[in-house]
Chain A
Amino acid sequence: MKRMGAFSKLYLVLIFSFMYLPIAVMAVFSFNQSKSRTLFTGFTLGWYQSLLRNDMILSALGLSLVIALISSVIATVLGTMASIGIYSMRHTVRGVIMNVSYMPVINPEIITGVSMMLLFVVVKNSINLQIFGIPTLLVAHITFNLPYVIFNVSPKLRQMDVRMWEAALDLGCTPMQAFFKVVLPELMPAILSSFLICLTYSIDDFIISYFTSGTMQTLPIAIYSMTRKKVSPEINALSTILFVVIFTIILLINAKDSRKEKKNAVRI
């Protein structure tokens, strides 16, 4: 199709307005003076100010960032090690492990959350220790992040040229040196992108954290408790900020990608 019909254009516009209208409405009303969600009574930045003074939100954001960072680092290291180990296993064993690893991805999130909660409750009752909070959140986040690392790193490992590794050994590297000088640099892009994926999943996760956090509040849980109280234009301010941040990040990544592509095109 070289040009788009008027009908197609209209359809695109309709779908995209369906997707963006709610977000736009929230953004507009985040500047609204009154608490009304239907009448725009005047411009104010007050909700942004009160959001930045809202201790509940700020400490929840802090917790979310800490959990996301720690769990992503551990999941990335553990997952990369696992990928390398699994790679050298027999085909059938590898298949079984991969299938089990896939469970948290195909299972509905609520099942993953509930099942981990059950385990934590049983452990808590048997050792008589209050483990709910940061420890359980970390374990849960590492667990649901691990499959994404493995599924990102494993294909890269399979694409790798084995001869590079063998050449390094022939030239006198110890296996350790060969790993850090040859294998790891080759895997680095996949490892980095898995780390980023883990970060975003971890910060965004509500359902699994909800069941495993005890009384701790991550940012999504804090948002949930805010929506339960219904009227709070601070939520609008918060989503507008998040939207702008995400938009900027995606724009930057995109700009970088297209520049890289152009460069490659010129080279070819």
Chain B
Amino acid sequence: MKLKSKIIAAPYLVWMTAFIVAPLLMVLYFAFTDKAGRFTLENLSGLSQYTPVFVRSILLAAIATVICLVLAYPLSFMLSRLREGKQRIMLMLVMLPMWMNFLLRTYAWMTLLERNGLINRFLGLFGVGPLNMINTQGAVVLGMVYNYLPYMILPLYTIMVKIDDSLIEAAQDLGAGRVHTLTKVLLPLSVPGITTGITMVFVPSISTFIISRMLGGGSNLLIGDLIELQFLGNSYNYNLGSAMSLVLMVVVLLCMSFTNQLDNENKEGGVV
């Protein structure tokens, strides 16, 4: 189409440069300068004292991602094999909680997990507890799983709907057991859904500061909390905060290139 209309993209290009590119350059600039604006590497080298927080963030986010995958995989498969009308209703049910503000969803768990919350009261009926559930790492992982489970279900479902029933039947006719059907047919075919799901759960999990604050108490800080403290909290150090943001970005990019790699390998294998 000869629309000859490149020019009408100009306002957007200006906007993009000013509000996407420039802010990221700011992060870079602040990360490598001190308060007086001189070049320094101290912000980045100073991060080593926060290694435990970084390790904890990666670990908790990874655990939450794995749990989401394990919970969502069979569910998505079951959904994809339902009649179409039922699929639509189920899908709506999956998405509905996503539309509620995640602060409210997390708040709901806060009241459930409390020391004299409903769960402990329920357990008390059987003489168990009260268990210490809130303000633990387990609670943080639970919050991540609860909030981001739909992000895993949806991409998995989308890919599994496309897997033909006859492929599964063929595998079974050719003598594959349940395990082999899963590992040789279903899993390889659903890799794109798995990788999308992993990024969609891992990225918000590793960068959250609300879930860790509301469910983890003060003692289970994550990277997100550290960054927030530098910008709006008491620590108030933009330079250090920028350095942290930079590292978080690198971690996220690494995770994405890892899942991309998985995708590509799978494609190559698929051709053979």
Contact = CB atoms under 8 A, between A and B. Distances in A.
Interface residues of B, number: 82
A1 interface: yes
B252 A223 contact: no
B93 A16 contact: yes
Interface stretch (A42-50, A187-195, A234-242): A234-242
A8 B78 contact: yes
B15 A18 contact: no
Given A114-B245, A118-B26, A118-B238, A85 B107 contact: no
B256 interface: yes
A68 B6 CA distance: 28
Contacts of B99: 200, 204, 246, 250
Contacts of A184: none
Contacts of B150: 19
Contact of B75 (A11, A110, A119): A11
Contacts of A150: 12
A12 B12 contact: no
Interface in A201-231: 204, 206-207, 210-211, 219-220, 223-224, 227
B272 interface: no
Interface SS majority for chain A: helix
Interface SS majority for chain B: helix
A180 interface: no
Interface string B174-195: 0000000000000000000000
Contacts of B241: 114
Contact of B21 (A84, A100, A175): A100
B245 A25 contact: no
Given A22-B146, A211-B232, A114 B27 contact: yes
Given A227-B106, A238-B104, 11 more contacts: A23-B105, A82-B12, A87-B1, A101-B20, A111-B248, A118-B23, A122-B26, A146-B12, A223-B107, A246-B100, A258-B88
B235 interface: no
Interface string B84-98: 010010101111110
Contact of A37 (B88, B92, B118, B252): B118
A106 B256 contact: yes
Contact of A250 (B5, B75, B96, B249): B96
A115 B207 contact: no
B15 A78 contact: yes
A142 B15 contact: yes
Nearest to B228: A110
Given A23-B100, A142-B15, A107 B71 contact: no
Contact of A85 (B2, B7, B22, B116): B7
Contacts of A19: 93-94, 97, 146, 149-150
Contacts of A79: 12
Interface of B: 1-13, 15-16, 19-24, 26-27, 30, 71, 74-75, 78, 81-82, 85, 88, 90, 92-97, 99-112, 114, 116-118, 121, 146, 149-150, 165, 203-204, 206-207, 209-210, 214, 224, 227-228, 231-232, 238, 241-242, 245, 248-249, 252, 256
Contacts of B238: 118, 121
Nearest to A86: B9
A227 B203 contact: no
Interface residues of A, number: 81
A242 B104 contact: yes
A108 interface: yes
Interface in A87-117: 87-89, 97, 100-101, 103-104, 106-112, 114-117
Given A38-B118, A118-B27, A165-B3, A1 B81 contact: yes
22 contacts: A4-B82, A11-B75, A12-B90, A19-B149, A22-B105, A22-B108, A23-B100, A84-B3, A85-B5, A110-B228, A111-B27, A118-B27, A118-B238, A118-B242, A119-B26, A146-B15, A160-B1, A179-B3, A183-B3, A204-B101, A220-B101, A227-B106
Nearest to B104: A239
Contacts of B228: 110
Nearest to B1: A162
A87 B3 contact: yes
Q: Which of B111, B210, B228 has the most CB of A within 10 A?
A: B111
B100 A242 contact: yes
Given A78-B12, A110-B227, A111-B248, A206 B19 contact: no
Contacts of B4: 88, 175
Given A204-B101, A220-B101, A239-B108, A84 B19 contact: no
Nearest to A223: B103
Nearest to A143: B19
A60 interface: no
A15 B256 contact: no
A107 B249 contact: yes
